[in-house]
Amino acid sequence: MGRQERIARSIVRAILRTNVNGTKKKASNPLGILLALFSAFFSLYQLLMRKIRPADFAKLRREYWDVSDDDYVDSFRPREGAKDEEALTAIGDMGFSGSTFYATTDQKYLVKSVPRHSEHSFFRNDLLTPYVQHMATHPQSLLVRICDFLGASGASIGRILRLAPSHHIVMENIMYGREEAENRGDAKWENWDLKPTSYFYPERDIADGALTSDATKEQLADEFHDKIVLSQEQADDLFARLEEDTKLLAEHNAVDYSLFLVRMKLPREEVQEEVQPEAAKSDSNLAPPEDGPSVPPQPPTWKTGVASADGKYVYRASILDFFWAKHKIQPRFMTLLINLWNLLISKDGPMSITTTPEEYRERFLKMCRGYVDIKKD
């Protein structure tokens, strides 16, 4: 069994074998417990995981996102006769952060590792309580819905040597329904991971990127070369959500977050320019699956799909990757390095990870507004 499979097994077992209050479901065989602890200590990749603040996340799922405990756990339950690790499928690559990504077999949830201490400690100690409160009081928030937070428990060789990530988040999959749409023969879904690109990116800007591979540069932020056509009401709603969510992040020193945008073309051979968005809403092929991971609040929302004012597309949007906080040691060190670079070598300005939270929020909101074209009545 490889590294990814062992990591997946540890995640699945943490979900399936932990009660809502955070306690492990007890094994009846003392010898089995002893052997499990012994095996966990000498494991390189399969760490013993526990849920962090499970009651808070369970309350969000049940009371605000209409996800029952049974339905949630079922997404992580392997098929009959399958091994635990087969309940998750590894996706994507390691990226700049070294994160691993998994999807549940039903595609409802994604699991992302949070290997950097500065990031998982920030979420656990600084942002978690405000996040839970914000999501409870702002049901239409664009912040990604985090359904669980897992952390390694106990000592192990793999944890000491950092051979496997010690923390993971379980979050909704905003791309849920794509596989079903592709099976129907609908137009391919498009997606972009958007950040302000006016910042200094060493991989791109030093020597015009000649010192960095194309594969590395492709991992930088995407660019959206189009416009999201919205009515005035839709635009005002979107901007209000963005203002509220980024205010929370700026207040807690978060920077470098991104807007994940999904676009689905209307499943029609021809679309008239004057089609009203209400017509798109009534198209049954665009409705979110009834068993989606977190449908409330009632559609249309940016979580489930908002029809463009020109009737051509349906959009989803979510704010991701808000774990980089300026007051942590690693971000402070990076800020020092970039400040020295600007002082001694070349005045390229700040990176997205070294700017101030207020300045990043300002550029982020300006970027989002720049992608919107308001259709006048």
Banded pLDDT at 283 (limits 50, 70, 90): very low
**pLDDT reported for residue 26:** 54
What's this model's pTM, rounded to 2 decimal places?
A: 0.83
pLDDT at position 277, please? 40
Q: What is the dihedral of CA 346, 209, 95, 252, to 10 degrees?
A: 30
The mean pLDDT of the chain is 82
Residue 166: partners with Cβ closer than 8 Å, 6 or more residues away? 47, 115, 120, 151, 152, 159
Q: Does 128 have pLDDT greater than 50?
A: yes
Which H or E element spans position 314? strand 313-320
Cα–Cα distances in angstroms (integers) from residue 361 to residues 103, 266, 289, 357, in the given order: 30, 32, 33, 6
| β 258-265/254-255 pair status | unpaired
Q: Which of 50-64, 240-254, 348-362 is predicted with the least confidence, judged by mean pLDDT?
A: 348-362
Q: Which helix or strand (DSSP H or E) is residue 101 part of?
A: strand 101-104
Beta bridge partners of 146: 171
Helix (H) or strand (E) holding 260: strand 258-265
Average pLDDT over residues 319-348: 88
**pLDDT number for residue 211:** 54
Q: How confident is the model at residue 202 (pLDDT cuts 50, 70, 90)?
A: confident
Q: Rounded CA gap, 357 and 366, in Å?
A: 14
Q: What is the mean pLDDT of residues 246-269?
A: 90
Nearest to 289 by CA among 135, 213, 184, 209: 184
The proportion of the chain whose per-residue pLDDT surpasses 90, expressed as a percent, equals 54
Predicted pLDDT of residue 213: 61
Find where tokens 């100690």 sit. Answer: 125
3-class secondary-structure state, position 259: strand
More reliable by pLDDT, 211 or 173: 173
Query: Per-residue b/e over 315-348, b at no fewer than 16 CB within 10 Å?
Result: bbbbbbbbbbbbebeebeebbeebeebeeeeeee
- State the pLDDT confidence band at 300, using cuts at 50, 70 and 90: confident
| Higher pLDDT among residues 216 and 333, named by residue | 333
Number of C-alpha atoms within 13 angstroms, CB side, residue 119? Answer: 22
pLDDT attached to residue 281: 40
Residue-wise pLDDT for 72-111, tens only, equals 999 999 998 899 999 999 986 544 455 789 999 999 999 9
Q: Which residue has the higher pLDDT, 281 or 128?
A: 128
- pLDDT band for 18, please (50, 70, 90 cuts): confident
At residue 102, the pLDDT reads 95
What pLDDT, on the 0 to 100 scale, is given for residue 11?
Answer: 94
pLDDT the model gives residue 222: 84
Residue 47 has pLDDT above 90, yes or no: no
Sign of CA dihedral 113, 296, 54, 251: positive
pLDDT at 276: 41
Q: Bigger pLDDT: 197 or 347?
A: 197
Query: Looking at the predicted structure, is the pLDDT value of residue 175 above 90?
Result: yes
